[in-house]
Amino acid sequence: MKPLAIKDDIYWIGSVDWNRRNFHGYSKSHMGTTYNNYLIVDEKVTLIDTVAEEFWGTLKCNIANVLGDRKIDYFVINHLEPDHAGCLALAVEKYQPEKIYTSPMGQKAMMAHFHYKDWPVEVVPTGTNINIGKRNLTFVETRMLHWPDAMLTYCPEDKIAFTNDAFGQNWATSERFADEVDRSKLEELMRNYYANIVLPYSPVVIKTLKALEEMNLDIDTVCPDHGLMFRGEDCAWAFKKYQEYAEQKPKNKAVIVYDTMWHSTEKMAKAVASGLAEEGVSVRLMCMKNNHHSDVMLEVFDSAAVILGSPTHNNGILPLMADMLTYMKGLRPQNKIGSAIGSFGWSGECVKVLTQWIEDMNMELVEPVKVKHVPDHDTLSQCFDQGKAIAAAIKAKLAE
């Protein structure tokens, strides 16, 4: 994709990765991603972030399309992750910038990644302003959103915020702005990105949004490092969505995450689902043999309850459930009700193991159900009643 003028003398010069299918451990199916970076042409030409190293050729071409033979004076590096700073060493060598601006933690990350000796790095803590000619740039540290080095760059003259990973989505498109695509798909992908990457840092998101509000920044364009940019009223929409995501208010919804060996646990899962549905709770059943853990996490994200199911396997649980629970626990979902189901042949540890995971994730526990070998009518009735009990707990939580 060719460079795109966002505003006068400010350009998107990123790359579209149509074939990326795995990102930070989560699957994006057919959606791909973009690596957005930006160029400001002023008295001091300023490059904001780079792209993944495999797109170095595209970056050079885009810069040449905008600048011709004119040099780049400054680099601003908002985030040192390789999908954004992968070309940094190559770019420093080629363009020989006068200064490289980054956050205090960014300077440490830059040294750890590139082991440089003589780069002209200048640390810019929150509140630092630099002048590049007609424009000024203000820097705001956004630590742990989602790396310690994260930083936002704001240009008051153009009311534009370069937000690195915040407000991003993984979506390879020929369109560049949110108002050019289907809103429901955009929201789904932004929520997916949040649920699988930003979720553990929700307290930081809330703190950062409040700090930005207190700074009273006038923003009419938001430029993340992945996916579509936001302009006009869509900026407020993006901020509102992040506030909503960070608050993690559950919906009247439950997700049953399970794996099964000879279908006994699956039968139990369906009975629990029937009990939930009987009480008007929206239910998702997700077998780990057929669903990627990132797709499951998207459903867990806004669910009020998470029911875990597995038979006993080698005195524990099935490996796909262990994988899912490791992933889920790391993302630290909040405000959840939890319960467990499982069948066993002789040792019977499955429900105990699943319950421990529930307790470790600080979920409100509803009494689990387990059965030896194959559930009969009485056991399935017990599972149905378990679903109704979980539904009651959901209603109580939503009424709080």
Q: Could you please state the CATH topology (level 3) that the domain comprising 4-247 is classified under.
A: Metallo-beta-lactamase; Chain A (3.60.15)
Q: How far is CA 393 from the centre of its chain?
A: 28
User: What is the predicted pLDDT for the residue at 21?
Assistant: 60
292 labelled catalytic? no
Of 84, 146, 292, 313, the active-site residue reads 146
Residue type present at position 315: N
Prediction pTM value: 0.88
Largest CA distance in the chain: 79
3-state SS class at 368: coil
Statement: residue 28 has pLDDT above 80? no
Distance of alpha carbon 140 from alpha carbon 125, whole angstroms: 7
pLDDT (average), residues 238-265: 93
218 labelled catalytic? no
30 labelled catalytic? no
pLDDT (average), residues 135-141: 96
User: What is the predicted pLDDT for the residue at 24?
Assistant: 59
pLDDT (average), residues 300-307: 95
From-to residues of CATH 3.60.15.10 in the chain: 4-247
Of 83, 149, 259, 266, the active-site residue reads 83
Q: In which element (H, E) is residue 66 found?
A: helix 56-67
End-to-end CA distance of the chain: give it in Å, rounded: 49
Statement: residue 20 has pLDDT above 90? no
Residue type present at position 225: D
Of 9, 24, 364, 385, the active-site residue reads 24
Q: What is the pLDDT of residues 321-335, one digit of tens each?
A: 999 999 999 999 999
From-to residues of CATH 3.40.50.360 in the chain: 251-392
278 labelled catalytic? no
User: What is the predicted pLDDT for the residue at 351?
Assistant: 86
User: What is the predicted pLDDT for the residue at 245?
Assistant: 95
146 labelled catalytic? yes
- pLDDT > 90 in the chain, percent: 73
Query: Does CATH number 3.40.50.360 belong to domain 251-392?
Result: yes
Of 38, 73, 79, 313, the active-site residue reads 79
Asked whether the CA dihedral 296, 333, 329, 318 is positive or negative, the reply is: negative
313 labelled catalytic? no
User: What is the predicted pLDDT for the residue at 154?
Assistant: 97
Statement: residue 23 has pLDDT above 80? no
pLDDT (average), residues 229-255: 95
Contact indicator for 236, 179 with CB cutoff of 8 Å: no
Statement: residue 29 has pLDDT above 60? no
User: What is the predicted pLDDT for the residue at 316?
Assistant: 82
DSSP-assigned letters across all residues of 121-169: EEE--TT-EEE-SS-EEEEEE-TTSSSTT-EEEEETTTTEEEEETTT--
295 labelled catalytic? no
226 labelled catalytic? yes
What is the pLDDT confidence band of residue 72, given thresholds at 50, 70 and 90? very high
Contact indicator for 164, 105 with CB cutoff of 8 Å: no
What is the pLDDT confidence band of residue 348, given thresholds at 50, 70 and 90? confident
Which residue from 293, 325, 327, 323 is spatially nearest to 308, judged by alpha carbons? 325
User: What is the predicted pLDDT for the residue at 276?
Assistant: 97
pLDDT (average), residues 138-154: 90
Which residue from 282, 283, 287, 344 is spatially nearest to 316, judged by alpha carbons? 344
User: What is the predicted pLDDT for the residue at 31?
Assistant: 81
Q: Which two tokens stand for residue 140?
A: 């705001």
